Every structure is written in structure tokens, then in C-alpha cells.
Amino acid sequence: MSTQQQLISALDEFIVRMPKVELHLHLEGAIQPATLLALAERNGVDLPARDEAGVAQLFRYHNFHEFLTVFMVLTRSLATGRDFEQVAYELGAHLAEQHVRYAEVMISPVQYHRRALDLDEVVQGTAAGFARAAREYNVRVGLVFDYGRQFGVDLAWRLLESAVRNMKYGVVGWSIGGDEINHPPEPFAGVFAAARRAGLQVMAHAGEVVGPASIWGAIEALGVRRLGHGIRSIDDPALLAYLRTHAIVLDVCPTSNIRTGAVPALDAHPLRRLFDAGIPLTINTDDPVFFGTTLCDEYRLAVRQFGFTADDLVQLTLTGARAAFLPEADRLALARELEEESAGLRAALGV
């Protein structure tokens, strides 16, 4: 093995073993196909797929709208608190395997509300699954309600009540996602202000498929300091300067952006340019099973496609720890733990 190859394989080992943080991850996009099929059968749900290959076929969509449709169809498999406990536990175990120490996992409350599921049961089942994973592995998870903006403001108010009621079960945040094109952030200003007053932290999907106006709206009207994606900020130098000055964090999901068509090809992805512009970034999977990726894969992609170094990767994880929806003392302790452990690992691996 040449010195260069040794370095690459040591860096790969570092990627696998380094302690990580993941802040942009949807529970519903992280369910293994075998589990989806088993849940559909248990609950008598007719899925448009009979086997794992059929589920994989559903994951081949061509644009963001197709993706949202498949997402909604597949969530029908989940029906009881026990289902949520199972998928949360499996995701917790998967995160631990990726050496993720802290994750924020979004759930899509609208889907369950519309099917008349008991949201308290959904949240408490999910929380129980992650609590079990935390007892067995070294991984901690916070829950975020990700509201589909296309369902309007009135329902958002009702679901916010449920989020607040379930803060004692680990709900830490409130977010909007869904159809960004037809539903700008501004009408949700009151809902977000109420969420913040209740003690929830807030974020928004913005600048994924819509340009800078959507990001400015999320920052100014919703008061968010963390954005899901935010990649279209690259089109607006004044916005980039604002993000940098105010340390507003972008949770970037490179493979997701390619798979949904938000970015046409990897070499057009602004990850490196955003990083070089000094914007605080994290790297995430978004919907790992849907997109056929893992957090380690995303880190590898950052190295191979965008030339990120071990230093850069550690910086991404520290940004994640500092931007987490945790009490300040916990954020600092997490950052310290990641920093120390990464330094030890780098010394041992020579990267």
C-alpha cells in the first residue's frame, strides 16, 4: 500500500469511528424496507410494494413532489405507539453504529393527525424507542415536530399544542418542511413566536428548492437560527454575509439534494463554497433509507468530492454540537467530548 493509500484508508477509518452529531434526520425516511413491510402487514395497510425490491423501486423518484408523495404513502404503515417504538429503536441502534452521539430526529405530525392517530401515543412511542436505544448504546436523541407547511396555519396551531404538551417526552424543537414552492414561511410567524415562548427551539426547511427569499423569510419572520438545507443562500452574497455574521447554521444534506433534484449534480453542489465562505455547516442524511445513504457515506462524500480534511470534519461535528437544541451546558459538554475523542482518535490513526 502506498503512503497515499494508507492515508486514505486511515481517514476512512477516522470517518467511521469519529463521534458525530446529526441534526437533520426524518424518522419516516429512516425506516428499513423490511420493517416497513412488516408494519404494513401487521396493520393491514396495502402498500404499493410487496417486497424489499418493490420498496426500493418506490425510492426511485425524479423530483421533490414525487418524493413527498412516496413519503406520505409509506408513513401509512405506522399506526400504533408500538410501531413508533420499534422504528425509533432501530434508528437509534443504526445511529449508534455510525458513532452518532447526539441526533435530532423529526417526525411529521400532520400525517398522523390526518389519519386520526393519537399524537401523544406517536410521540411517547417514539420517545420510548429512543430511550431504549440510549440505555443500550451511547446515543441521545431529541425530537422535533416538522410541520408540512402546505397544510396551513390553523392546523399548525393545533399541532404546536401537541408538541408543547410532549416536551416532557423529549420534544425539543418545532420546524416547517414540505412544499416550500407554494408556501412561503411568513404566515407561520405567529406559530413560531408561540413555539419559542413555550420553550421549544425552532428551525425551518428553507432554501432547498426556493431561492434566498425563502431563507430571509425564515430568518426574519420565524426567528430561526438553524436552517434545513439553506443551500440556495449561495445565490445571495448579502445573505451569506448575514449567515456568517450571525452564526446561522445550515444543516446540509448533499445526497438528498441530488436525489430530490434540488441540485442537478454533485459537482454543482455548493457545500464546499458555503464552507469556504465561513458559513457554519453540519452534514446530514435527511432521509437515509429513502436516499440510500448513511452519515458515514455523507462524510466520505465530503472528503472525496469536496476535499474536506479530518480537521474540517471535526469542525462540522463541533458546529453540530454547538447548534444542538440542548441546554447550553449540555451543548458545551457534548462539544468537549467530541473534540477530545476526535483528537485522541486522530493521534492514534495519524490523520
To the query of whether residue 208 is one of the catalytic residues in this protein, the response is: yes
How far separated are the first and last CA of the chain, in Å rounded? 16
Give how many residues touch Zn ion by CB under 5 A. Answer: 2
Indicate the residue among 42 and 65 with the shorter CB distance to Zn ion. 65
Contact 87, 8 (CB under 8 A): no
Indicate the residue among 119 and 176 with the shorter CB distance to Zn ion. 176
| Closest separation in Å from C-beta 311 to Zn ion | 27
Site string for Zn ion, 35-74 (x = CB under 5 A): ----------------------------------------
C-alpha cell at 12: 476512512
| Closest separation in Å from C-beta 230 to Zn ion | 11
What is the distance between the alpha carbons of residues 201 and 322, in angstroms, rounded to a whole number? 13
Considering only residues 220-279, where is the footprint of Zn ion by CB under 5 A? 228
* Catalytic-labelled residue, pool 104, 180, 208, 298: 208
Site string for Zn ion, 183-222 (x = CB under 5 A): ----------------------------------------
Considering only residues 139-158, where is the footprint of Zn ion by CB under 5 A? none
| Closest separation in Å from C-beta 269 to Zn ion | 16
Considering only residues 67-96, where is the footprint of Zn ion by CB under 5 A? none
| Closest separation in Å from C-beta 208 to Zn ion | 8
Site string for Zn ion, 281-300 (x = CB under 5 A): -----x--------------
Indicate the residue among 142 and 228 with the shorter CB distance to Zn ion. 228
C-alpha angle 341/133/332, rounded to 5°?
35
Which amino acid type is present at position 239? L
Indicate the residue among 271 and 314 with the shorter CB distance to Zn ion. 271
| Closest separation in Å from C-beta 215 to Zn ion | 15
Indicate the residue among 206 and 243 with the shorter CB distance to Zn ion. 206
Judged by phi (left if over 0) then psi (alpha if -120 to 50, else beta), residue 142 lies in beta
Contacting residues toward Zn ion, per CB under 5 A: 228, 286
Catalytic residues: 208
